Amino acid sequence: MAEQVRRILVAIRELRRTPKSELRKIGALARSAHAQLELFHAIEEPDPGASWPETASAQTVEAQRDAIAARQRQRLEKFAADPTLRGLTVSCTVSWDHPVHEAIIRRALASGADLVIAATRDHRLGARLVLRNTDWELIRHCPLPLLLLKSPRAYSRPVVLAAVDPFHAHARPADLDARLLDVGARVAQLLRGTLHIFHAYMPLGAVAPATLGTAPLVMLPPEAEEAHAQQVERVINQLAERAGIPPARRHVELGEVDAELAALTRRTHTALVIMGAVSRSALVRFFIGNTAERVLDKLSCDVLVVKPRGFRTTVSKVAAATAPRERTRTPRRGRKALRSAPRAALPPPL
């Protein structure tokens, strides 16, 4: 992230109802960071320029685009006026850009955002909290920290859990775990919460390579498994000590990552899990070797996805030449707040 969290881009996909719980959490985070908010919506309605009869004039098509954009922007401005965002500087932007995940990333880069927030929660009663295709594409390609809001619970001195992999089982950069803990410490500070560390590992007998056609595997002695467990504990403790995390907040579990992490978040009432994302080639399109794909849909808490330093997105900063331009509006109260806002000292960067 930048030196200070000054701008937060909030991707709003559903305009039919006010996302009350999400706005409450977004407002609390922005207020703690003294950050400006931008509510962004990528218009998914058919573009009149492509769907109208060829006999329609350019002026007619542009007028229809403006009318659609104005309706969408009015909905965003209604969200911006919600009491949970009172006192914050909030701007609203709509765009015809597509696909949606690229539109969000392009707007985040163009606006100089330090954090992207996307609500993934389905408001239908009893609906499963699953990620959509746009969420996965954001996870893979967004170069900025990405906060996925999955839970309606407000942040109240939350447990922030950093999921680390110091043995780099999934080909992660060596400094990614330190970055996760650094980001976690700053998020916990902003939200007045506590930082925990998590790692899950498998027994040696489950991961030892076997070559087909050779003699059956020999059971490893208990001493080898014990030494393996001690080594894992030692490495996690070293990471935790450097981050200032006390023993009571260190969680080293034996078992599959997805099951152990989901169980731990329930036991500790975790509000936010911080995970690292590694983008692979366009062919395999893996995210942490499929571990997160098994994990994220099981988690009911929020997730902050962090990329390694130096990550470069493949999304172009410029949309297709045929796409209509964006429409942005900053409410008057937002401009006034921006002029009068004190230059308060902010926490270190996320």
Mean model confidence pLDDT for the chain: 81
Q: What is the mean pLDDT of residues 143-168?
A: 92
pLDDT score of 339: 39
Confidence grade of residue 203 (pLDDT, cut at 50, 70, 90): confident
Instruction: Decide if 313 contacts 142 (C-beta within 8 A).
Output: yes
Percent of the chain with pLDDT over 90: 51
pLDDT for the residue 46: 74
DSSP 180-241: HHHHHHHHHHHHT-EEEEEEEE--HHHHS---TTSPPPPPPPHHHHHHHHHHHHHHHHHHHH
Residue 94 in this model has a pLDDT that exceeds 50: yes
Tell me the C-alpha distance between 267 and 124, whole Å: 26
Segment 292-303 mean pLDDT: 81
Taken in order of first residue, the domains within the chain and their CATH numbers are: 1-136+318-350 (3.40.50.620), 144-311 (3.40.50.12370)
Give the strand order in the sheet containing 36-42: 250-254, 194-201, 159-163, 270-276, 302-306, 146-149, 115-119, 7-11, 36-42, 90-95, 327-329
Dist CA 257 CA 280 (whole Å): 20
- Per-residue b or e along 251-267, where b marks 16 or more CB atoms closer than 10 Å to that residue's CB: bbbeebbbebbbebbee
Per-residue pLDDT reduced to its tens digit, 254-288: 998 889 999 999 999 999 999 988 654 433 333 44
Per-residue pLDDT tens digits for 52-93: 666 678 888 888 888 999 999 999 999 999 999 999 999 999
336, 339, 345, 350: CA torsion to nearest 10: 70
Q: What is the mean pLDDT of residues 180-188?
A: 94
Its pTM stands at 0.83
